[in-house]
């Protein structure tokens, strides 16, 4: 069983940065770790994922070049560094873990992920 707890959310101005952390309990070193976002009135969307071992990452185009996902396996944490924040980045951010798909892929498809945190709120105002 894997448990995930997010932290680091808050309210910032456009252009500022935030760093989200996900504390992982349980054995997750062979799992894909992802960050998802649900903005007001919208469906949950995947924004970043990192492969087991941390050597490969994948981002949604909306955050590419601004957000960085990383994982520290010995410390059992996954972080999302968010720079140059925009108003449209506002939402609830969720950390998730799931098995790799056939072929070893970590995707941004939420149904791939079976463990979820409770979410942390990020508000970006202009």
pLDDT in the model for residue 103: 87
pLDDT tens per residue, range 43-87 = 999 999 999 988 899 999 999 999 999 999 888 999 999 999 999
pLDDT tens per residue, range 7-40 = 999 999 999 999 999 999 998 889 999 999 999 8
Q: Give the CA diameter of the chain.
A: 42
pLDDT tens per residue, range 84-103 = 999 999 999 999 999 999 88
Contact present, 22 and 95 (Cβ < 8 Å): yes
Nearest of 75, 80, 96, 109 to residue 2 by alpha carbon: 96
């Amino acid at each position: 069983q894997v448990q995930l707890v997010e932290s680091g959310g808050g309210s910032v101005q456009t252009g500022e940065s935030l760093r989200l952390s996900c504390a992982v309990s349980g054995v997750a070193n062979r799992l894909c770790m992802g960050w998802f976002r649900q903005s007001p009135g919208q469906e949950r969307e995947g924004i970043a994922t990192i492969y087991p071992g941390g050597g490969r990452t994948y981002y949604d185009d909306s955050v590419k070049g601004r957000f960085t996902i990383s994982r520290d396996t010995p410390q059992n944490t996954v972080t999302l560094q968010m720079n140059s924040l925009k108003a449209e980045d506002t939402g609830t951010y969720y950390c998730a873990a799931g098995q790799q798909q056939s072929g070893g892929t970590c995707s941004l498809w939420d149904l791939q992920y079976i463990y979820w945190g409770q979410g942390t709120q990020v508000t970006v105002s202009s």
